[in-house]
């Protein structure tokens, strides 16, 4: 076996980073299913090694002159070459580090959150599966490899969402997630095929290079870009394929934190950024992506305003922020979009993990109940959640402020002011719904008798102190990141600019009023939330909730789910499936059975010839003889 | 075509291990069931080891026909006892060996008329092996019919739902298919003027006129296609699957349907390439219909085995689509899919068989919550279901990928339709998994035991094969390409 | 008047009456008599051809004598068959013998 590859530190680190979780998955599934602690240990060790390798790669290759690509032979058929390998460039290394970090933190957090669950080992096996898939996706050199691991990530998501499979709603949600993302994936796959057939290969560096415009016509570029964007729509829950993400909250909260906020759903955005130069060739496609991102952002913000479930708020928020990232990228802001992806991963994971502490402690998802039971007494989660909400709303000096400003700047550079207006509106709504939740928990309406029942709101008595701190430390780390990451915007942009060749629009410089406007709107949203929920004697009813029709619209996710249910029941099951099944039974089988009956029937008919009457036989004999004689006579 | 003669008659050894097993079983008295099963295990094991060995021992650099055994049989008719393997038949041989071995293990708990069951099974598999290795049309047809008729008693005696109807329908349908094949073979024999049934002689260019090729190919496509589950001649398949006992379903769906596709390949495509090109549009259309149709009808089923049956129809459509593209990738994908689907379907039926034996029902509404009761058995089914959906790193993903790339290149609309059917297949498979395995623990079935380690061995083997070829697809594609590339390159333009 | 054709007509008439009787009679004995008629028709045919076309040797008349002998033997066998059938179906009506009905 040729071990020369172990000599290359980059390759070794990349291989370690990507494949140790796979080894962990295999080990746990095959051998250590019955040893819960051992499984967890293996998994965390594996992802720890991945993290170390990722950081090593990031640091070592900080100022890379050109991307490093290492590939080996996976499949060659005819003229189709599918290699397996790694692509190390700033974007992929950044994503690798993000994924590894958050996976590590979430797996540590899960030690406490999932403690005592009968499926503990299985959980960690699936976490390792996810880590393997997502890490390899980040450093894929070709779109085919990306697609393969994209599907595997979807599989891990299915398994983890439906983790508590005894609950019908959980398995239903997992199935819904898989099928919906698969719809997007089909468009993605068709787009890839178009590119493969006309461009020749699916290597990312090649696709981002100048030959793309040479070999593909503008129409083809637009169509394939739009089809590939279908994958983004599915995986990153853009309109209209967004309803699977709120349902995915059926999974354990660490899963929601890892997959459905920071990493898996970000894979779509990551893919967009990955082939950003390819997408930028087609202005029409970018405009379509921009509009879809905008619609998504606004729509899901409205849905977040009326829900009672703490995780649903953050789920809708994730969809909204992903839309915002898509807006940034589609408007041409490569560095802005990627930066927001990075910061969002940090504070959104933090938000979910904090919610997880509340859910674990009070055993309910309802924010009103948590508030009434004295949720604000859990200090660390409360502080971290407030911090993260502020970051989400874009308040300085947190990381969210910097990244949102970057995107706003890009939007301002667009000719049509509608995008910027939408972005600012989104900022207002984001602040509103985030602080609505904060204030509901912070200042609960204690006018009911529940006040008397609140037991010691500090909650530490509920679990062993050790477990609590296992959950708290990841929170603290992520909060620190949220505080500090914003100031790294400059170095990160420099880092990222080495990885793409298309000039992207900056635009922050000459819009000095923009940050003020954005922050102002955010503060306005916060203020409105305080007015309605936070101050003493507040009614705790939002302005939307006062309009029942509007409230119903938002609460029912703009009736998208109803539409899908109708589509599924009437068109798919009712019409097509029914039609084909009946065709099978009545037409095809009917024809076959009919033929058999005809055969038997004709036999019965002909059996009349056998009448048993001797004289009929004799008659036939004589007739035949006469004919033969005549024949001889005439033909002689 | 290059021929490399065998140093040791491996192929005949495979056939003999089945026939010898059959003969030994016939002499064992009926009551000694364990001995019968052990003999079956040994002979099926030998067959599997030999076929897998050949799979890896094939020299990919040289290609062509290898392990050739050629003996003159009947001089006046030009019949030769001619066995050989190439890149197309080796995966099939390995598949048959694996499915046979795991099938025998799966039926370990049979108690009803054990002797006849294993005797018929070995007869059936001998026929199947014979078809895959035969390079002489006469022997190919003989083995083909040998593999057909044991299906009738196997289903009618040991089967379940509507077994007599299923057995009769299956047998009559398949015999109707062979009634189309035999005239085709005779037509070719007469028209070639060479007075031989030898495939390597008949496949030389210029032996048949284009019209003869088109006519003969149509006969072969319809005749073998019935066995391959080509839409609309597929309805015998779900009924047959449901009615058959577990191992027979495994062999039937796993291997027998591939027999049909392989027949189209070996007889139709090899001997009538111009006919193949002429009819490829129709083949693509029927294949796409089968893919979409099978997926949608599978949605409406409530019997577990019916679901698997219709998903088989859908997957065999993918094979047909690959064959219809007349490209190297399409052929590679089609043969890979034959192998991958065979293993996956064997695993599905094996898992369902275990569940049926324990719960005595296949109806989905009566099952549910099985994952808590028998986790291992559930996992096997779920892995197989995921393979069926086309999850990467399981074998069928690569097969489907190749077929879709090839078909999109040649038939964009039909290819796109076939790709869209992926969603429907995901929908119904996951629905089945959810209804059968997930949910509250089934109290009515809570007393049932999970699959023991011994009984789990065949399923573990199948899972291992699926994962192996999922992670290392080059193992299969490199082999198949040694046969597909020369074939496509030798096509008349 | 005394020509070959006359005798051929007579023979044909006998033969056809015999066929008609064989097919139409319900009674087995009746069918037997009709068969005798057919045989006699054939005999007349033989003798006519012998006399008018090839008088020497007198093969036709010898054939007729043979036919008479065969007819006698065949009648004996036929009657014993009729008796055996009668024992089974208790009738000499041929419509009762229908075991080979499909």
Q: What secondary structure does DSSP assign to B239-250, as a single string? A: HHHHHS-HHHHH
CA–CA min distance B216, chain A (Å)? 24
In a domain, A24, yes or no: no
Determine phi and psi for B420, rounding to 5 degrees: -65, -30
Q: Strand, coil or helix: what is C93?
A: strand
The answer to whether residues A311 and A405 belong to one domain is yes
Q: How far apart are CA C82 and CA B351, in angstroms?
A: 70
- Chain C neighbors (3+ CB pairs < 8 Å): A
The alpha carbon of residue B329 is apart from the nearest alpha carbon of chain A, in Å, by 6
Q: Would you mind telling me the total number of residues written for chain C in this entry?
A: 102
Q: Classify residue A612: in a domain, yes or no.
A: yes
Q: Residue A458 has what pLDDT?
A: 37
Is B154:B245 a contact under the CB 8 Å cutoff? yes
- For the cut 70, the answer to whether the pLDDT of residue A524 exceeds it is yes
In a domain, A348, yes or no: yes
C7-C11-C15 Cα angle (round to 5): 170
pLDDT of residue A364: 85
Number of H helices, E strands in chain A: 29, 2
Interface of A with C (CB under 8 A): 607-615, 618-619, 622
Distance CA B299, CA A348 (A): 38
Kindly identify which residue of chain C lies nearest to residue A612, measuring between CA atoms: C101
* Helix residue spans in A236-265 (DSSP H): 244-247, 253-257
Does the pLDDT value for residue B334 go beyond 90? yes
Residues A260 and A314 grouped into a single domain: yes
Cα gap B141→B132, rounded to integer Å: 11
Looking at the fold, whether A511 and A536 belong to one and the same domain comes out as yes
Place of tokens 């459509």: B317
More confident residue, A494 or B297: B297
- A552 lies in the same domain as A568: no
On the 0-12 / 13-18 / 19+ scale of CB atoms within 10 A, A167 is middle
- pLDDT > 90? residue A456: no
Give, in order, the Cα–Cα distances in Å from B111 to each of A243, B5, B29, B451: 52, 43, 14, 18
Radius of gyration of chain B (CA): 21
Three-state DSSP class for residue B491: coil
Indicate which of B389, B477, B479 best probes the interface with A, i.e. most A CBs within 10 Å of its own CB.
Answer: B477
DSSP A443: S
Which pLDDT tens digit goes with each residue over C18-69?
999 999 999 999 999 999 999 999 999 999 999 998 888 888 999 999 999 9
Rounded Cα–Cα distance for residues B272 and B209 (Å): 9
Residue for token pair 């058999």: A596
> What pLDDT score was predicted for residue A1?
43
Please give the angle made by the CA atoms of C56, C62 and C67, to the nearest 5 degrees.
145
pLDDT at B225: 92
Residue A93 has pLDDT above 70, yes or no: yes
For A68, the enclosing helix (H) or strand (E) is strand A68-77
If one counts the domains in chain A, the total is 2
What contacts B432, CB < 8 A, 6 or more positions away?
B304, B307, B364, B385
pLDDT of residue B446: 76
- In this structure, are residues A328 and A336 in contact, taking their beta carbons and an 8 Å threshold? yes
On the 0-12 / 13-18 / 19+ scale of CB atoms within 10 A, A248 is: buried
Mean pLDDT across the stretch B439-444? Answer: 76
The token pair that represents A295 in the structure block: 């619609």
The mean predicted confidence, pLDDT, of chain A is: 85
In a domain, A401, yes or no: yes
Find, among B141, B140, B104, B133, the residue nearest to B121 by Cα. Answer: B104
Interface test with B, best of A21, A72, A77 (most B CBs within 10 A): A77
> Do A550 and A616 reside in the same domain of the chain?
no
The mean per-residue pLDDT over the stretch A42-71 comes to 87
- Residue written as token pair 């789990």: B456
Alpha helices (runs of H) in A363-502, residue ranges in sequence order: 367-372, 379-393, 399-412, 418-442, 450-453, 465-485, 489-497
Interchain contact, B235 vs A76, CB within 8 Å = no
**Contact (Cβ atoms closer than 8 angstroms) between residue A402 and residue A344:** no
Residue A258 lies in a domain: yes
Per-residue pLDDT reduced to its tens digit, B273-305 = 999 999 999 999 999 999 999 988 888 888 888
CA–CA–CA angle A153, A184, B298 (5° rounding): 90
Listed residues A529, A556, A583: the one ending a domain: A556
Do both A612 and A543 map to the same domain? no
**Which domain covers residue A282, as residue numbers?**
144-455+465-556
Same domain, A538 and A569: no
Cα→Cα distances B8→A254, B3, B60, B67, Å = 60, 15, 19, 8
Q: What share of chain C is helix, strand, coil (3-state, %, to 5)?
A: 80, 0, 20
Report which of B104, B134, B141 is spatially closest to residue B22, judged by C-alpha positions: B104
B447 min Cα distance to partner chain A (Å)? 18
Pair A24, A42: CB distance under 8 Å: yes
Could you read off the pLDDT of C37-51 as tens digits, one per residue?
A: 999 999 999 999 999
User: Average pLDDT in the A31-56 region?
Assistant: 89
**Average pLDDT over chain B, rounded to whole?**
90
Same domain, A612 and A489: no
Query: A614–C102: do the CB atoms touch at under 8 Å?
Result: no
Q: Which of A556, A591, A607 is the last residue of a domain?
A: A556
- Determine phi and psi for B150, rounding to 5 degrees: -65, -15
CA angle at B178 for the pair B176 and B183, rounded to the nearest 5°: 105
How confident is residue B451, by pLDDT bands cut at 50, 70 and 90?
confident
Percentage of chain A with pLDDT > 70? 93
Q: Please identify which residue in the block is written with the tokens 């298919």.
A: B177
User: How far is Cα A635 from Cα C51, in angstroms, rounded to an integer?
Assistant: 29
Q: Name which of B173, B426, B481 is nearest A178 (Cβ-Cβ).
A: B426
Q: Tell me, yes or no, whether A612 and A542 share the same domain.
A: no
The count of C-alpha atoms lying within 13 angstroms of the C-alpha of A394, restricted to the half-sphere facing its C-beta, is: 32
Closest among A116, A98, A97 to A40, alpha carbons compared? A116
Q: Are A613 and C23 in contact (CB < 8 Å)?
A: no
Does residue A579 fall inside a structural domain?
yes
Residues 6+ apart with CB under 8 A from B379: none
A572 touches B: beta carbon within 8 Å:
yes
Sequence-distant (≥ 6) Cβ neighbours of residue A264 within 8 angstroms: A130, A134, A153, A154, A156, A157, A235, A258
Residues A264, A168 share a domain = yes
Closest Cα to residue B202, out of B223, B228, B227, B184? B184
The answer to whether position A104 is within a domain reads no
Per CB-CB distance under 8 Å, the chain C contacts of A610 are 100-102
More confident residue, A511 or A234: A234
pLDDT at A459: 39
Q: Does A166 touch chain B (CB under 8 A)?
A: yes
The rounded mean pLDDT for chain C is 92
Contact predicate A296/A239, CB 8 Å: yes
Task: Tell me the per-residue pLDDT of B190-244, one tens digit each, with 9 for 90 and over.
Answer: 988 888 898 888 888 888 888 999 999 999 999 999 999 898 888 888 888 888 8
In the sheet with B65-74, reading across from the earlier edge strand, the strands are B3-5, B65-74, B79-85
Going by pLDDT thresholds of 50, 70 and 90, the confidence category of residue B154 is: very high
Question: Looking at residue B223, what DSSP letter applies?
Answer: H
A449 pLDDT higher than 70 = no
In a domain, A284, yes or no: yes
DSSP 8-state symbol, A86: E
Please state whether the predicted TM-score (pTM) of the whole model is above 0.90.
Answer: no
Helix (H) or strand (E) holding A224: helix A218-235
- Provide the shortest C-alpha distance from residue B23 to chain A (in Å): 37
> Which run of H or E residues covers position B67?
strand B65-74
Same domain flag for A451 and A504: yes
pLDDT band, very low/low/confident/very high, at A448 (cuts 50, 70, 90): very low
Sign (positive/negative) of CA torsion B225, B229, B231, B232? positive
Of A162, A190, A196, which is closest to B416 when you measure between CB atoms?
A190
CB B429 within 8 A of CB B366: no
Q: Which is more confidently placed, B339 or B363?
A: B339
C-alpha distance from A585 to closest chain B C-alpha (Å): 9
- Domain end, chosen from A556, A576, A605, is at A556
Least confident of A157-166, A462-471, A596-605, B278-287: A462-471
Q: How many angstroms separate the CA atoms of A430 and A528, rounded?
A: 12
- Beta bridge partners, B82, equal B70
Task: Give phi and psi for A48, each to the nearest 5.
Answer: -65, -45
Record: contact A612-C23, CB cut-off 8 A: no
Tell whether C22 is within 8 A of chain A (Cβ): yes
Question: Which chains, if any, share at least 3 CB pairs under 8 A with chain A?
Answer: B, C
Looking at the structure, tell me whether residues A222 and A265 fall in a common domain: yes
Best residue of B162, B426, B480 to probe chain A, by most A CBs closer than 10 Å = B426
């Amino acid at each position: 076996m040729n071990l020369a590859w172990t000599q290359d530190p980059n390759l070794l680190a990349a291989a370690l980073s990507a494949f140790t979780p796979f080894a962990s998955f295999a080990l746990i599934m095959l051998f250590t299913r019955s040893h819960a602690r051992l499984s967890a240990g293996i998994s965390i060790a594996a992802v720890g090694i991945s993290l170390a390798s990722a950081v090593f790669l990031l640091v070592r290759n900080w100022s890379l002159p050109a991307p490093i690509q290492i590939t080996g032979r996976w499949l060659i058929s005819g003229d189709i070459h599918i290699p397996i390998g790694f692509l190390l460039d700033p974007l992929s290394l950044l994503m690798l580090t993000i994924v590894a970090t958050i996976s590590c933190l979430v797996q540590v957090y899960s030690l406490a959150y999932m403690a005592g669950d009968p499926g503990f080992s299985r959980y960690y096996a699936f976490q390792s599966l996810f880590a393997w898939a997502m890490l390899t996706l980040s450093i894929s050199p070709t779109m085919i490899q990306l697609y393969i691991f994209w599907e595997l990530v979807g599989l891990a998501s299915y398994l983890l969402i439906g983790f508590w499979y005894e609950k019908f709603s959980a398995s239903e949600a997992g199935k819904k997630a898989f099928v919906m993302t698969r719809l997007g994936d089909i468009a993605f796959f068709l787009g890839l095929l178009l590119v493969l057939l006309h461009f020749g290969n699916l290597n990312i560096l090649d696709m981002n290079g100048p030959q793309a415009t040479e070999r593909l016509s503008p129409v083809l570029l637009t169509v394939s870009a739009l089809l590939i964007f279908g994958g983004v729509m599915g995986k990153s829950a853009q309109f209209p394929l967004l309803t699977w993400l709120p349902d995915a909250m059926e999974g354990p909260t660490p899963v929601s934190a890892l997959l459905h906020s920071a990493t898996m759903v970000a894979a779509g955005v990551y893919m967009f950024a990955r082939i950003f130069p390819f997408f930028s060739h087609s202005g029409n496609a970018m405009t379509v992506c921009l509009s879809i991102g905008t619609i998504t952002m606004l729509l899901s913000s409205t849905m977040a305003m009326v829900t009672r479930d703490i995780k649903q708020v953050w789920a809708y928020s994730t969809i909204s922020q992903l839309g915002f990232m898509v807006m940034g990228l589609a408007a041409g802001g490569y560095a802005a979009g990627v930066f927001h992806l990075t910061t969002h991963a940090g504070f959104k994971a933090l938000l979910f993990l904090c919610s997880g502490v509340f859910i674990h402690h009070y055993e309910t998802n309802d924010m009103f109940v948590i508030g009434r039971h004295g949720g604000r007494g859990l200090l660390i989660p409360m502080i971290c959640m407030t911090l993260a909400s502020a970051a989400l709303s874009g308040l300085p000096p947190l990381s969210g402020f910097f990244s949102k400003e970057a995107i706003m700047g890009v939007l301002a550079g667009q000719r049509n002011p509608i995008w910027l207006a939408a972005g600012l509106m989104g900022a207002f709504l984001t602040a509103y719904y985030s602080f609505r939740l904060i204030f509901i928990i912070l200042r609960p309406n204690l006018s009911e008798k529940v006040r008397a029942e609140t037991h010691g709101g500090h909650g530490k008595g509920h679990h062993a102190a050790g477990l609590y701190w296992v959950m708290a430390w990841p929170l603290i780390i992520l909060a620190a990141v949220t505080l500090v990451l914003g100031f790294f915007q400059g170095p990160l942009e420099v880092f990222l600019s080495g990885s793409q060749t298309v000039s992207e629009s900056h635009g922050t410089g000459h819009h000095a009023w923009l940050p003020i406007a954005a922050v102002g709107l955010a503060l306005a949203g916060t203020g409105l939330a305080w007015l309605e929920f936070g101050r003493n004697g507040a009614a705790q009813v939002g302005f939307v909730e006062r309009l029942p029709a509007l409230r119903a619209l938002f609460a029912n996710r703009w009736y998208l789910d109803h539409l899908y249910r109708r589509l599924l029941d009437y068109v798919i099951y009712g019409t097509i499936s029914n039609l084909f099944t009946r065709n099978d039974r009545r037409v095809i089988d009917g024809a076959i059975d009919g033929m058999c009956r005809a055969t038997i029937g004709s036999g019965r008919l002909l059996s009349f010839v056998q009448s048993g009457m001797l004289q009929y036989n004799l008659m036939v004999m004589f007739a035949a003889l006469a004919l033969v004689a005549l024949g001889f006579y005439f033909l002689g | 075509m290059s021929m490399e003669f065998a140093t040791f008659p491996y192929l005949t050894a495979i056939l003999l291990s089945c026939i010898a097993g059959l003969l030994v079983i016939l002499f064992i008295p009926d009551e000694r069931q364990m001995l019968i099963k052990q003999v079956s295990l040994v002979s099926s094991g030998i067959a599997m080891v030999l076929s897998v060995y050949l799979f890896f021992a094939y020299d990919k650099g040289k290609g062509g026909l290898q392990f050739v055994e050629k003996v003159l049989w009947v001089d006046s008719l030009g019949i030769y006892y001619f066995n050989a393997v190439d890149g197309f038949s080796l995966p099939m041989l390995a598949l048959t060996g694996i499915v046979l071995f795991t099938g025998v293990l799966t039926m370990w708990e049979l108690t009803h008329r054990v002797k006849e069951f294993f005797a018929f099974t070995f007869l059936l598999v001998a026929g199947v092996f014979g078809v895959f290795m035969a390079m002489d049309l006469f022997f190919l047809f003989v083995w083909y019919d040998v593999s057909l008729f044991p299906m009738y008693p196997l289903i009618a005696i040991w089967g379940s739902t509507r077994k007599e109807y299923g057995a009769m329908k299956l047998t009559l349908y398949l015999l109707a298919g062979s009634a189309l094949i035999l005239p085709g073979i005779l037509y070719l024999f007469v028209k070639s003027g060479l007075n031989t049934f030898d495939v390597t002689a008949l496949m030389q260019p210029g032996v048949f006129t284009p019209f003869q090729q088109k006519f003969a190919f149509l006969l072969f496509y319809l005749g073998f296609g019935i066995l391959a589950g080509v839409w609309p001649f597929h309805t015998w398949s779900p009924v047959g699957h449901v009615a058959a006992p577990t191992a027979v379903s495994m062999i039937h769906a796993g291997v027998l349907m591939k027999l049909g596709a392989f027949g189209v390949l070996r007889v139709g495509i090899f001997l009538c390439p111009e006919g193949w090109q002429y009819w490829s549009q129709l083949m693509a259309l029927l294949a796409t219909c089968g893919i979409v149709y099978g997926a949608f009808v599978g949605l409406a089923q409530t019997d577990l085995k019916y679901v698997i049956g219709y998903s088989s129809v859908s997957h065999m459509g993918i094979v047909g689509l690959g064959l219809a593209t007349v490209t190297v990738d399409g052929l590679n994908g089609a043969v890979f899919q034959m192998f991958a689907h065979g293993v996956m379907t064997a695993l599905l039926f094996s898992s369902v068989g275990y569940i049926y034996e324990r719960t005595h029902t296949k109806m989905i509404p009566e099952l549910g919550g099985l994952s808590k009761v028998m986790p291992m058995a559930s996992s096997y089914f779920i892995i197989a279901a995921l393979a069926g959906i086309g999850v990467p790193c399981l074998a069928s993903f690569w097969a489907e990928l190749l077929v879709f790339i090839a078909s999109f290149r040649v038939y964009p609309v039909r290819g796109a339709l076939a790709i869209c059917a992926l969603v429907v297949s995901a929908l119904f498979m996951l629905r089945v998994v959810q209804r059968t395995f997930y949910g509250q623990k089934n109290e009515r079935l809570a007393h049932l035991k999970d699959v023991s380690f011994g009984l789990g061995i065949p399923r573990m083997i199948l899972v291992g094969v699926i994962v192996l070829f999922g992670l290392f697809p080059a193992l299969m594609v490199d082999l198949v390409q040694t046969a597909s590339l020369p074939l496509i390159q030798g096509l008349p333009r | 008047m005394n020509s070959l054709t006359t005798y051929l007509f007579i023979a044909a008439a006998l033969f056809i009456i015999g066929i008609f009787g064989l097919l139409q009679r319900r009674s087995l004995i009746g069918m037997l008599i009709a068969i005798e008629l057919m045989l006699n028709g054939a005999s007349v045919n033989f003798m006519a051809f012998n006399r008018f076309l090839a008088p020497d040797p007198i093969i036709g008349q010898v054939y007729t004598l043979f036919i008479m002998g065969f007819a006698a033997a065949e009648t004996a066998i036929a009657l014993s068959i009729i008796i055996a059938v009668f024992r089974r179906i208790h009738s000499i009506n041929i419509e009762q013998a229908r075991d080979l009905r499909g």
